[in-house]
Chains A and B, each alone.
Chain A
Amino acid sequence: MAHVLEVYDLEKNFGGVVAAHNINVTVDEGETIGIIGANGAGKTTFVNMVTGYLPPSGGRIEFLGKSVVGLHPRDVTKRGLCRSFQVPQVFLSESIFDNMLVAYGIAERSGLGLFTPIHTDERAARVDAHLKRYQIEDYRDVAASALPQGVRKLLDIAMATVRNPKLIMLDEPTSGISVEEKFGLMDIIMEALRQEDTTVMFIEHDMEIVERFVDRVWAFYQGEIICDAPTAEAMVDEKVREFVIGQEYHPAHLEGGAHA
């Protein structure tokens, strides 16, 4: 299988603080990667560097075989590498529908085409289909500021996928969501992304979510990846248990739990 993302010797320093050191990873098409690690371990910095928000201090990042270092986030996005945010980045005072409409408008038009009316029946139909895929069509006309957190998270991800990206990086999709709702939310997201044929990486703190949805785990610790292994292996890795998930955590598969 082809590599979607390849990262070599990635480094990042903020002043004297090392936020990324010696990161070498690859992502294959169709894989689901889970990024774990304590707060400040460098997970979001990694996502920020890959998507062009932060320039790396050193190293290479290749997406579909081409370097994306030095590109603006908008150009990385156009190449088919998109992301969502821990705090949803949406247009708060607008309705879900208008949020998606603008997202589609920007994704589908360029140059003088940007001067054509944004609202067409055909585009509206696509927006509605997209909302349905993420099961938020009931909130179509509600302003994003008035949405429940879970719906806003789904909107954020839905907006990140209007270009039908090849790879998407989700920054803590379930943060701020109650325990009972987390699995339902992840089911919706993963099913939608499977339909869109998108390779997924996501940052997650809840190990039960990781075990259920992820094929391979990267464990970050102080800017380095201390473990890059299939989920079942990572959950019993000594270093991961010591520095990330804690010794008291009992992986589901050891208790006969299923791998989704």
Chain B
Amino acid sequence: MTTSQPLLEIKRLNAGYGGIDVLHDIDIEMREGEFVCIIGANTAGKSTILRAISRLVPRVRGTLRFNGVDLTERAAHEVPSLGIAHVPEGRHVFPDMSVEENLMLGAFTARASSDLQQRMERIFDLFPRTRERRSQLAGTLSGGEQQMVAVGRALMLQPKLLLLDEPSHGLAPKVVEEMHDAFVKIHRGGTSILLVEQSVGLALDVAARGYVLDSGRITLQGASAELNENPAVRAAYLGI
């Protein structure tokens, strides 16, 4: 029996801020090419999982491996060059820089690459509105457009794994749909995605598999279709 190495391997992860653990014994495994989501209520600790992977959480205990690399031995600024791109919650663009500058900074760790212009063109193809506004200051864009820039900036790295933290939060339904279409395209292009969402229905629509997080513990996991049918999930998160 040959088992290929998992892309992301999280075992008995405990993490938190100050003296308090927010996550308790988290186990998550992802293979290359997967589209996985983490769902759960606010304050369940979903963002903390992504922040732990990106090494933005100071206190981490347990196993945290990416592509065989022990992430706990890496600093936050080393993570992007390993192939992990993180889109943090809340549309974090550089407001006084143009859309193009924002995207270029995304490839910050990929200094020597000569194909940055091509990468940018692919992002413009994915989000045509960013092409229209390429020389506009990012701070003057609408919320949805800013989120597109933030996702585009992450893609400039050509990551193996894309971490998306509440990408549709606070966006108009039509933009949310556009976003999710883009995620499906990104995934088809070969990028593995770990998506954190509060809109459970949307997340289970695009991801193949999901984990349910409740008060810092994983309470359920399975294929999206199963979770969608699960009475507990339906009652708690889908309001049915």
Partners in one complex: no
Residues of B within 8 A of A (CB): none
